[in-house]
């Protein structure tokens, strides 16, 4: 059962445009929502993360928008660059007997064209 649903599956954006990736979750016990960037053949790298007590977090060109009532969160990449072309995963986490295990979305393959 996919606990975090991510869309779109793939995305093509022109250089300088805004890339938007959306995620939704059901479990209200989740209290940590990170985004990871993964290049082919590499491990994921943490981009930005948010806790549910804030509605938005911005770090450079990356912004997370969080809607607690709708149980949705999204990643916005401003001024997208070809170097941003990668797969992006959203995730959600809560404390359990296994520690803070991450539940990943299925990923979005982003292509930024020159």
Instruction: Return residues touching another protein (CB under 8 A).
Output: 32, 34, 36, 41-46, 49, 89, 93, 97-102, 104-107, 109
Main-chain phi, psi angles of 20, to 5 degrees: -130, 125
Closer to another protein by CB, 43 or 83: give it.
43
Nearest distance in Å: CB 46, another protein: 7
Residue 25 near residue 105, CB atoms below 8 Å = no
Nearest distance in Å: CB 71, another protein: 18
Closer to another protein by CB, 91 or 112: give it.
91
Q: How far apart are CA 65 and CA 44, in angstroms?
A: 21
Closer to another protein by CB, 26 or 79: give it.
26
DSSP-derived secondary structure letter, 21: E
Q: How far apart are CA 52 and CA 33, in angstroms?
A: 8
Nearest distance in Å: CB 81, another protein: 23
Closer to another protein by CB, 34 or 77: give it.
34
Helix, strand, or coil (residue 25):
strand
- Residue 80's nearest CA partner among 36, 20, 17, 11 is 17
């Amino acid at each position: 059962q996919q606990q975090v649903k991510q869309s779109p599956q793939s995305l093509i954006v022109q250089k300088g445009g805004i890339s938007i990736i959306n995620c939704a979750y059901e479990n209200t016990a989740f209290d940590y929502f990170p985004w990871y960037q993964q290049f082919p053949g590499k491990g994921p790298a943490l981009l930005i993360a948010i806790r549910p007590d804030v509605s938005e977090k911005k770090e450079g060109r990356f912004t997370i928008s969080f809607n607690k009532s709708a149980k949705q969160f999204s990643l916005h990449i401003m001024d997208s660059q070809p170097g941003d072309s990668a797969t992006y995963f959203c995730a959600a986490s809560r404390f359990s007997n296994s520690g803070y295990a991450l539940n990943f979305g299925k990923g979005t393959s982003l292509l930024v064209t020159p």
